[in-house]
Structure 1
Amino acid sequence: MSPFHISLTCKIPALRHLSKSLTTAASNFTKQPQMAWLDLRGLGLSALERLSIEELLLRHDPLNRCWGIVGCHEPVENRLLNVAASSSGEGRVTRDGGDEYGHGNSESNNSCTIILGIGGKMDRLVNIPAARRDGVLVLRRFSGGGTVVVDHNCLWTTFIGRNDVPMTRSREHVKPFPREIMQWSADTIFHPVFCGMNVEIIESDKKDSAKRRAGRQTLVFHGKSCGISGGVGETLFLPSIQVDGLQTGETDVDKTMLPTFQLRENDYVLGEKKMGGNAQSIVSSGFLHHTSFLWDYDHNNMEYLTLPEKRPNYRGNRSHNDFLIKLKDRYGVGSTKNSFFDHVKNATSQTFELEDVLLSDVLNIANEKFGSLQHWFDSKCRTKIVKLE
């Protein structure tokens, strides 16, 4: 046997080990991180129950998973929690069916809930006389952020990230600070979501345009068909337009009029108006980032909030109704609430491998750790009902 053959033979195991290591490294880089996906639509849970479940999963998931949670929720009525039996909290239900500040009585406004951040000053953020008069439920959630009024038309999204899990398509970790978390969600999740919803508007208009063109005379310009005569003047239809890199078919939508999503200061906005409020809770193992998007809302309910002393520069002194925008007004024709959530799941699946999880699986976590979700809420959960003074 030649010396060369002996030398090569000795190196073969090392080469095999190197090849295996490179293959494993490449596989780990291309494999998507996993995320548990909890869809709470149609389950009749209240805002209070949703917040209780979120904190449970952030702090006590035995598998320490990343989570995506979506759904719309009832403002008041609880399905899983018996608030009257609660032995803790800032406000309790009394024997007459109402709570200590009148909520639950026949005169109460049960169409909405006011939710304060964990450090929010109620006397500065809530129109207390109006809220007390109407018996509006007030909660203090476990996360930071500002004060919101939510109802069954709010679209809730929640993401739980872990420090040891890469959260971007380039497999980078998200630093556990509010601004970095908001930028991650804007770039990775919500920019693609609203891009997709804009395309839906275009595709919907495409169909309408085709119907309007049917039976009309085609215009010819330099020997090429380029539009139709509408009977009042002439309309030229662009063969296609491009929205954020997505090519669409023939449409007469002016893309300059399409809503532009962006993260502005700490808000999600369309143009100059806010359509989503978000907050974070950061723990040693990771973070929770949740958002309530305004699909629709009752203008009267916004009167329960005061003009906050600390507000974003772009807002100025605008009232809540002048400062906010309803997604329904921009997307309601071509999209629905369910369509929004479908886009959220699709955008998330571009970065994560999603595993659908049932509510019963989540309740089992509470049962094994605390005996029940009720006991978790009573003993450890930091989301509480607030008594109006």
Structure 2
Amino acid sequence: MAASQARNAGLPIINFLRLKGVSILQQLHLEERLLRTSSENWCIIKDGTTRPTIVMGVSGKPKELLETDAVLRDEIPVIRRFTGGGTVIVDQGTIFVSFICNKDAIPGLQSYPRPIMSWSSLIYKNMFQGIGEFGLRENDYVLGNRKFGGNAQSITKNRNHVEFICRLKEFMSRSDFINGTTDAVAAYFALRSPDADDIQNHSSQFEPSSKLLTRQELGDEASIDLVGTVSQAL
């Protein structure tokens, strides 16, 4: 304990939360509540989501970004999240890592996408040492020449998907990635395990804006909601 306290001395405190068996909509609601109502730092790691779901940025337009006929036919949930960025498909194989931090938690860090991505790449750089050639290219995390995470980018047409995307399981197990990320975060923050009250205190103070889109919002003439919901009580 003494060695741990000495190692963490002077580091900003972060609430470290690991989730499993939680839908992406629940996660987004929690993150937005913490962002708007908590003055503390948070790191959330979630292993998978409860069902395949399409997640769009706050300004995303379904007709421009989705094959809406196929989405409606297959009854795939579509969520518009409260943050910007591209459109992604998430499922049980996705690992989510989210940081909610005060501006002064990382001294000198500018509140713009590129500096934030550059800082977050430091979290993973040491973790991938000896495993793959990790780097930050534009706003993407890459191993060698292939992307495994980051912001969505425009890709030149006629390029084979496997030529620019790689799967993390080619390099490490899920548990190794999650544990490695935990250790990497501990190099920058003193980790604190929040209890249920810490989270519950923020659960009813703010109405989140991330939402499941209806059939009408997806461009269908019918005004019925998508069959099934991805929302459950935390």
The verdict on a shared fold, with TM-score over 0.5 as the criterion, is yes
CA-to-partner distance for each residue in 1:2-28, whole Å, 9 max, x for gaps?
A: xxxxxxxxxxxxxxxxxxxxxxxxx9x
Match of 1:190 in 2: 124
Whose RCO is larger (CA < 8 A, sep 6+)?
2
SS of the equivalent of 1:175 reads coil
Name 2:208's counterpart in structure 1: 381
Q: 2:11 aligns with which of 26, 32, 47?
A: 32
Distance, in Å, in 2 between the alignment partners of 1:161 and 1:49 is: 20
Q: For the structure 1 residues 139 and 359, does the alpha-carbon distance in structure 2 shift closer, same or farther, using more than 3 Å as the test?
A: farther
Q: How far does the alpha carbon of each residue in 1:303-349 deviate from its partner, in whole angstroms, 9 at most, with x for none? A: xxxxx9x61xxx42235454321111232xxxx21221111111111
Give SS of 2:200's match.
helix
**2:37 alignment partner, one of 44, 53, 60:** 60
Give the secondary-structure state (helix, strand or coil) at the position aligned to 1:180.
helix
Q: Give 3-state SS (helix, strand or coil) of 1:173's partner.
A: coil
Which of 183, 187, 209 aligns to 1:350? It is 187
Aligned length, in residue pairs: 208
Aligned partner of 1:60: which letter? T
The answer to whether the Cα contact below 8 Å between 1:148 and 1:277 also exists between their aligned partners in 2 is: no
Question: Equivalent pairs: percent with the same residue?
Answer: 35
Inter-partner Cα distance in structure 2 for 1:320 and 1:113: 20
1:360 CA displacement? 4.9
Match of 1:324 in 2: 165
**C-alpha distance in 1 between matches for 2:29 and 2:160:** 31
- CA root-mean-square deviation: 2.1
Verify the 8 A CA contact 2:125 2:134 in the aligned structure 1.
Answer: yes
Counterpart selection for 2:109 from 151, 174, 197:
174
Q: Distance in 1 between matches of 2:18 and 2:198?
A: 12
Q: What amino acid does structure 2 have at the position aligned with 1:327?
A: L
CA 1:119 to 1:50, structure 2 compared with 1: closer, same or farther past 3 Å? same
The answer for the alignment partner of 1:144 in structure 2 is 84
- After superposition, residues 197-346 of structure 1 pair within 5 angstroms as 198=131, 259-278=132-151, 311=154, 315-317=155-157, 318=159, 320-331=161-172, 336-346=173-183
In 2, Cα distance between equivalents of 1:319 and 1:135: 28
SS at structure 1 position matched to 2:193: strand
Q: Distance in 1 between matches of 2:196 and 2:167?
A: 29
Equivalent-residue separation in structure 2 for 1:192 and 1:322 (angstroms): 25
Offset of 1:121 from its aligned partner?
Answer: 2.1
Any residues of structure 2 matched to 1:119-134 within 5 Å, and which? 119-134=59-74
Query: C-alpha displacement at 1:133, in angstroms?
Result: 1.6
Q: What do residues 269-313 of structure 1 show as CA deviations (whole Å, max 9, x unaligned)?
A: 1122211134xxxxxxxxxxxxxxxxxxxxxxxxxxxxx9x61xx
Contact 1:38–1:359 at 8 Å: present in 2 too?
no
Amino acid at match of 1:191: K
Which protein has the larger Cα radius of gyration, Structure 1 or Structure 2?
Answer: 1
Which residue pairs with 1:83 in the alignment? none
Q: Does residue 1:71 correspond to 2:46, yes or no?
A: yes
Check 1:39–1:358 CA distance in 2 against 1; reply closer, same or farther (3 A cut).
Answer: farther
| 1:34 partner amino acid | I
Aligned equivalents of 1:49, 1:319: Cα separation in 2: 34
Check the 8 A contact 1:115/1:148 in 2, yes or no. Answer: yes
The CA distance in 1 between the partners of 2:45 and 2:10, in whole Å, is: 24
Task: Say whether 1:159 aligns with 2:99.
Answer: yes
Q: How far did residue 119 of structure 1 move?
A: 1.2
Q: Following TM superposition, by how much is the alpha carbon of 1:136 offset from its aligned partner in structure 2, in angstroms?
A: 0.5
Distance in 2 between residues matched to 1:160 and 1:365, nearest whole Å:
14
Unaligned runs of 5+ in 1: 1-26, 77-111, 199-258, 279-307, 370-375
For 1:69 and 1:358, the matched residues in 2 are separated by 14
CA distance in 1, matches of 2:13, 2:79: 32
Contact 2:49 2:94 in 1 (8 A): no
Matched with 1:252 is none
C-alpha separation in 1, matches of 2:164 and 2:73? 25
Unaligned stretches of 5+ in structure 2?
1-5, 220-234
SS in 1 for 2:26: helix
Q: Are residues 1:363 and 2:200 paired?
A: yes
Cα 1:182–1:340, aligned 2, differ >3 Å: closer, same or farther? same
